[in-house]
Structure 1
Amino acid sequence: MYRAVSSILQKYDADMGAAEAHGIAAGMLCVEHKVDAAGWLHELFTDQNDLFDEDQTVLRELFEGSRNLLDPDNGEFSFDLLLPDEDEPLADRVEALRVWCQGFLFGVGYAHTDADWPGDSAEVMRDLIELTKIDSDAEGEEDEAALVEIHEYVRAAVLTVRDQFAEYKNTTMH
């Protein structure tokens, strides 16, 4: 899926790669689970009407698949970040994780303009901001192990943000 999304984004000269695009989608969905894919596509492309139907379908499937995996009622911990495969160079995977976090922060900010952050989400967001500063010049087993740990932390952080916003919405609506 990563390669397919990357090639679509490249084909239409999007300003970002697959990891960052998916981060934006995840951020938007964590804050507002009912957000429309059209808003996301608008952030990716100045004119989404130029997209071929099959390309738009792939992107919408990624967005809707992410929505399903981030559904608070799903209960499963099956959501994952869209990153390059393990056979890609470590530096490329670290860079993809860095820009994924950048995209996630943008997506959350896109959907949540209020200065108040529910629960632990403010702390999580500060951690993710720090991760946007990581050096992608990585090599060796230690850096590989660190990437795996950071990846797992970010997955958990995403679900924390999702849960905090879901809880926040439930308490403010009743």
Structure 2
Amino acid sequence: MKEICPTVERIVREWPELESPAFLHGMLTGELCGAEKLEVGDFIKGLLQEIGAESVKEKALQTLYVLYDETLKGLTSSDFSLELCLPDEARPLIERARAVGQWCEGFLYGFGLTHPGRAKLGEEVKEYLETLQDVADIDSEALKDVEDEQMNAQLEEIIEFIRIGAIAVYENLHPAERKPIELDTIPEPTHKTVQ
């Protein structure tokens, strides 16, 4: 996934409506979790409609196919290998926190597009979505000029919660042969928002 994120960033520059690579990846992950079954063609067609584009360059199309494929594999693999399209640890804390918030916004948006019947969701899934809303509301500007190990560790903890939670939501809404992950067994982050 890390290899494709820079290419996704170039696509997003052409489609500023998508906000960031993190938002686009969150949106795709949310759609995959919320939809009964989301084919890659449906994802791309829906994306083009969302941004008002009538066509897409071949390179961008290939990138979207790979992004879809890698994300679906990550959600369904037995080794919980989902990776989030976020800036790496070398980037400033404010940039990473902003991207995490954008990923959460994207997930909520994509999930809402494909699973509008929120009342039908289990409590654990609803709680996860509420946590994503809290994270999406992170005031990343408050982190300007802040760089310390504790804040970075808290952000990494939040990222891991989001990542494992997305896999758990997918499993709970798409029961496979293996036993679904119980959402209440995932440790809550000690800090839901970076302060």
Q: TM-score, normalised to structure 1's length?
A: 0.86
Aligned counterparts of 2:156 and 2:107: Cα–Cα separation in 1: 18
Listed as ranges, the matches of 1:89-104 within 5 Å are: 89-104=92-107
Backbone CA RMSD of aligned residues: 1.9
Preserved contact between residue 31 and residue 165 of structure 1 (Cα < 8 Å): yes
1:28 equivalent to 2:34? Answer no
Which residue type is aligned with residue 68 of structure 1? Answer: K
The 3-state SS of whatever aligns with 1:78 is: coil
1:62 equivalent to 2:67? Answer yes
After superposition, give the CA deviation of every residue in 1:32-72 in whole Å (9 maximum; x if it has no partner): 263132245226531151x210111112210121112212x
| Pair 1:103–1:43, CA change in 2 (3 A) | farther
Which residue type is aligned with residue 125 of structure 1? Answer: L
Residue 171 of structure 1 corresponds to which residue in structure 2?
Answer: none
1:124 equivalent to 2:128? Answer yes
Which residue type is aligned with residue 126 of structure 1? Answer: E
| Pair 1:43–1:131, CA change in 2 (3 A) | farther
Aligned residue-pair number:
165
Runs of 4+ with deviation above 4 angstroms = none
| Pair 1:144–1:43, CA change in 2 (3 A) | farther
Which residue type is aligned with residue 63 of structure 2? Answer: V
Residue 188 of structure 2 corresponds to which residue in structure 1?
Answer: none
- Residue number among 140, 147, 151 corresponding to 2:155 in the alignment: 147
Q: Any stretches of 5+ residues in structure 2 without a counterpart? A: 176-195
Preserved contact between residue 18 and residue 82 of structure 1 (Cα < 8 Å): yes
Shift of 1:134: 1.2
Preserved contact between residue 44 and residue 64 of structure 2 (Cα < 8 Å): no
Higher relative contact order (CA 8 A, sep 6+): 1
The 3-state SS of whatever aligns with 1:38 is: helix
Aligned counterparts of 1:160 and 1:68: Cα–Cα separation in 2: 14
Shift of 1:15: 3.7
Listed as ranges, the matches of 1:13-52 within 5 Å are: 13-32=16-35, 34-35=37-38, 36-42=42-48, 45-49=51-55, 51-52=56-57
Q: TM-score, normalised to structure 2's length?
A: 0.78
Give the stretch that moved more between structures: 34-43 or 105-114.
34-43
Aligned counterparts of 1:159 and 1:119: Cα–Cα separation in 2: 16
Identity between Structure 1 and Structure 2 (%): 29
Q: Any stretches of 5+ residues in structure 1 without a counterpart? A: 168-174
Which residue type is aligned with residue 123 of structure 1? Answer: E
Residue 7 of structure 2 corresponds to which residue in structure 1?
Answer: 4
Which residue type is aligned with residue 155 of structure 1? Answer: R
Give the stretch that moved more between structures: 16-25 or 130-139.
130-139
